[in-house]
């Protein structure tokens, strides 16, 4: 399956946590920005949820296209934060919650890129792959 989320990709990641003492215990929780990221991704991904969660080995390909400013050209590499692994963590967590796959541990092949773009969004390809990498 291949689809495009027509959104300004959120830059807050799962790594953004806050801490507080509650009843004498240190508690960690998601920041407001991280919660907003989860909500944005959930709303954008919901129409693409497959009828049944995928199982077995899965390949995930994502291109994060951020709105470009005057100093960038269309599809120029974005070499600033956030890091691709942090972007992917939130995306895969939401996709797991929505039922794209049984568990995100099934994603065993991943290609991620981030660019500046005149058409911002996230292009996503999810495919089940079979067999072994090398026979």
We report the CATH number of the domain holding residue 35 as 3.30.1330.70
The verdict on residue 134 lying in a domain is: no
Task: Please count the structural domains in the chain.
Answer: 1
pLDDT score at 5: 98
Q: What is the pLDDT of residues 68-98, one digit of tens each?
A: 999 999 999 999 999 999 999 999 999 999 9
Q: Could you give the CA distance from residue 126 to residue 101 in angstroms, rounded to a whole number? A: 10
Low-confidence ranges of the chain (pLDDT < 50): none
pLDDT score at 16: 55
pLDDT score at 135: 55
Domain limits for position 44 = 2-128
pLDDT score at 33: 85
The verdict on residue 135 lying in a domain is: no
The verdict on residue 43 lying in a domain is: yes
pLDDT score at 71: 95
Render the chain in DSSP notation, one character per residue: -EEEE-S------TT-EEEEEETTEEEEEE-HHHHHHHHHHHHHHGGG--SS-B-S-EEEEEEEEEEP-TT--TTEEP-SSSPHHHHHHHHHHHHHHHTSBS-GGGEEEEEEEEEEESS-EEEEEEEE--S-S--
Strands ordered across the beta sheet of 2-5: 2-5, 121-128, 58-67, 107-117, 76-77
**Is the model's pTM score more than 0.85?**
yes
The verdict on residue 133 lying in a domain is: no
pLDDT score at 15: 58
């Amino acid at each position: 399956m291949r689809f495009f989320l027509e959104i300004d990709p959120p830059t807050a990641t799962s790594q953004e946590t806050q801490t507080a003492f509650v009843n004498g215990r240190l508690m960690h929780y998601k920041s407001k920005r991280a919660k907003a990221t989860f909500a944005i991704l959930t709303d954008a991904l919901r129409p693409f949820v497959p009828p049944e969660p995928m199982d077995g080995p899965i390949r995930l390909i994502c291109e994060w296209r951020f709105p470009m400013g005057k100093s960038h050209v269309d599809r120029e590499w974005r070499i600033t934060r956030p890091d691709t692994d942090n972007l992917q963590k939130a995306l895969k967590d939401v996709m797991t919650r929505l039922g794209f796959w049984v568990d995100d541990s099934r994603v065993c092949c991943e290609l991620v890129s981030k660019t500046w773009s005149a058409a911002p969004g996230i292009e996503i390809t999810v495919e089940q792959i079979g067999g072994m990498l090398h026979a």
